């Protein structure tokens, strides 16, 4: 059985590394993209923020059907008011504030909330807890993308730095 507390704790840890990636990226280079068809580093980080705020915002608002032509419009009221050209420090702070706020809101809800079946954006029927897990998995995917961009710039991601420090006995 998957526990709400475990999912939220795991998401907080993932988000800390997402925010750290934003802070570690070279200042003023959030518009970096390895190839023209890929999103920039900054666009990807902002997408993580917007997707999690929007999807969890809909969950908290009681939305039960994430499909439909107006889906993206329904997300908008749940997004943070940040300028399109937000800087790295502000974006990293918003990422941390967002996960703190959303996990606190989710942790305050009764178990029955998480057991309710909803319709995910792909039409699949899932519990609300499974939807939170989907948001977390979505972030992991994009965090890996951010880490690859870091590597392309010669920067070691925080997760690897921690592992290397642990291996060195620090």
pLDDT in tens, 69-105: 898 899 999 999 999 889 999 999 999 999 999 999 9
pLDDT at residue number 68: 86
* CA pseudo-torsion sign 121, 124, 129, 135: negative
How far, in Å, CA of 162 to CA of 166, rounded?
A: 6
pTM value surpassing 0.85: yes
How far, in Å, CA of 88 to CA of 80, rounded?
A: 15
Q: Which domains does the chain have, with CATH numbers?
A: 4-167 (1.20.120.450)
Nearest to 113 by CA among 52, 64, 166: 64
3-state secondary structure of 12: helix
Give per-residue pLDDT as tens, 118-131.
999 999 999 999 99
Q: Which residue has the tokens 């995917």?
A: 141
**Residue 27: how many CB atoms within 10 A of its CB?**
9
**Residue 163: how many CB atoms within 10 A of its CB?**
12
pLDDT less than 70: residues of the chain: 170
């Amino acid at each position: 059985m998957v526990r709400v507390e475990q999912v939220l704790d795991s998401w907080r840890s993932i988000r800390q590394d997402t925010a750290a990636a934003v802070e570690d990226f070279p200042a003023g280079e959030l518009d970096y993209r390895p190839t023209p068809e890929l999103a920039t580093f900054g666009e990807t980080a902002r997408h993580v923020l917007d997707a999690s705020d929007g999807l969890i915002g809909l969950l908290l608002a009681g939305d039960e059907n994430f499909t439909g032509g107006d889906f993206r419009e329904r997300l908008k009221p749940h997004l943070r008011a940040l300028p399109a050209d937000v800087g790295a420090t502000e974006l990293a702070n918003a990422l941390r504030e967002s996960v703190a706020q959303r996990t606190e809101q989710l942790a305050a809800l009764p178990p029955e909330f998480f057991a309710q079946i909803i319709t995910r954006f792909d039409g699949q029927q899932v519990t609300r807890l499974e939807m939170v897990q989907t948001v977390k998995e979505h972030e992991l995917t994009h965090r890996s993308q951010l880490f690859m961009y870091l590597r392309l710039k010669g920067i070691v991601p925080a997760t690897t730095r921690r592992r290397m420090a642990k291996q060195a006995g620090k």
